[in-house]
Structures are given as C-alpha cells and as structure tokens.
Amino acid sequence: MPLPYLGLLRTLIICLTTLSLFSQQGFKAYKQNIPGTEVSFKMIPIKAGTFNMGSTYSDVNSNEDERPIHHVDLDPFWMADHETTWNLYQLFVDRTIDSLNRNGIKNPSIIIDVDGVSGASIPYIDMSLGMGTDGYPVINVSQHAASTFCEWLSAMTGHYYRLPTEAEWEYACRAGSEEDYHFGRDESLDDYAWYNTNSDGTYHPIKTKKANRWKLYDMHGNVAEWTLDQYIEMGYEQHESHNPYNEPTKKFPRVVRGGSWMDKASALRCSSRLPSSRDWNRRDPQYPQSKWWKTDAPFLGFRVVRPYFVPSSSNQKKYWIHKN
C-alpha cells in the first residue's frame, strides 16, 4: 500500500479508536434532575445487543401472539431504572416549572419549545384512587399522555426521551435471560414483583423489590407499562431484525408490557403482551372521552428511555405523536 494511504489509514484508525473510547466513557448511568425541583430519576445504560424475542411452542405459558421466537438486534439506549412516578408526572400536569427551561439547558440536537408542548387536562377524580402518590408509579394514563410527557421532559432537560419500543422493553426486561422471568428459575417471583398473590389489592412504591441484572426495578409487575408499538397479534411474522417497531396507524390496540399488581404470574413473563382496550376508559363521563386519562386502568403506567443515537429533528416527533 502506498505510504500516503497508510498515513490516512493510521489516522482513520486513531480517530475511530478515540471516538469509540469517548463513546464508551459517555455511555454510563446518570441521574436526571428536573430544573427547579428536587425530583430526579436514574437512567441505566443498556448496551447494543441481540436476543431471541418471544416464546417457543414448548413454553406452556406462552400465547400465540408471542410467536414465532425470532432474532433481534438493537442499538444502545438508556432506560429509567424505575417506572415514572406521580411526583414527576405531576410536574408535567401542573406545568409550573416550564419557565425555568427558557434560559436553561440547551441542546442543538433537541429543538423543542416547551411552550409548544400540549398540556394534560386536570383529572376530575383522584386518578390514584386513594392508593398513594408519593413515591408511587403514576397510573391511569393514556399512551398519548405518556408520549406527550416524554416530549415535555425532553424540552425541560435537553435529552431526547420517549417510550420504549416493544423490542427494547423485552430486551431490557430479560437482561440476558432466556427464561420466563429475568431471574431465571432459581429464585421466587415474589422477590422481584408485585402481582395478584402478594400485592394485597394495591400497587406499591417503586423499587421495593429486587432489580434485574441490569439494575432495572419492577420490570415484572407493580404497574404494566406502555410501549410505542401498535399491537398486531401475529406481528412477529413480519418483524425486522434490526430495531423492530410497529408504528401505530390507529388508536387501538397498542402494546402494554410487564403485567401488574392485578395480574397472575403468567402475565408478568418477559414475553407476555397485552393489547390496550377501549374498556380502560368506559366510566369516563366526558364527551369526547379524555385522551389523557384512563379511568379504568389502575394497573397501567410507563417508564422512559433515551436512545443513544438521537433521531433527526424531522423524526423526533414521530415517536411522540401518533394517531389518537
């Protein structure tokens, strides 16, 4: 190889090595503070990787919509170590701290005017149903509300947040496990999850059970969690292998994962899928019914992720605004 090309190759290798080291150093756990408040949450780095998504026919607890089991590879992302709490979500509902962002954190790749983010309606009843709010996960929220919250959170912090895709959620839940639950078969589900046999008919404060191997809490039970995807019963048959995502084209159904304090153990499995339902708002007396709150979903919440590779400005809203 001619000397000039060897020099260019050496320079390229040095640049790529430096970039790789910089990326690895920057990809670590961090605490996200909310401006003007004492509220914060921890984000856990989830490295890029591959896994087998879904269940096999030999799994006696599996359902048809979890098949076929298929190979998926994902880009890196951060995930909140716990479900979004009332303490944090109420800041979005109140919107009293928005002004603190106007001269605060700026990120050239996140171009969002916090004043342009829609505000959630004030609920007409106590959406916690008297079960507790301080330190508890938010419940009874729609996927639209959860996604709009992510847009607001991005504007307030300068980091791009969204809901996880269904594939990201299962990958993070499994934390390397190929069993029904992330802890495998050697320990009890009671050590890791709140569900119908141990919840005493209520949800519980975050992080009161053991975390999985990747330090994520309540991936099984407590409250079920919204993902971004449209629910397609046999959608895995057309799943792409790299960063699969079924972009929503209609309001119902969407995919919910993880199971809740109301569910039996089989609904908490890593691969278990739940389609959203119109019945989750059947007692809402408003017309039209609220797009922010689900009066009959005391089992339903969400957690946020932050993709390592920030979408282009033209694609950022793609993950926040869906057909409602």
Q: pLDDT of 94-142, one tens digit each?
A: 999 999 875 556 688 887 889 999 999 999 899 999 999 999 999 999 9
pLDDT score of 323: 61
pLDDT score of 216: 99
Question: Could you give the CA distance from residue 296 to residue 283 in angstroms, rounded to a whole number?
Answer: 7
The pLDDT mean for the chain works out to 90
The one-letter code for the residue type at 92 is F
Q: What is the mean pLDDT of residues 72-87?
A: 98
How many CB atoms within 10 Å of residue 302? 29
Yes or no: say if 216 and 225 are a contact pair by the CB < 8 Å rule. Answer: no
Asked if omega into 68 is within 30° of 0 (cis), the reply is yes
Beta-bridge partners for 79: 44, 305
Residue 17 backbone phi and psi in degrees, to 5 = -65, -45
Q: Which string of b and e fits 44-82 if b means at least 16 CB within 10 Å?
A: bbbeeeebebbbeeebeebeebbbebbebebeebbbbbb
Question: Could you give the CA distance from residue 296 to residue 313 in angstroms, rounded to a whole number?
Answer: 36
Window from 107-121, 189-203, 263-277 with minimum mean pLDDT:
107-121
pLDDT score of 12: 42
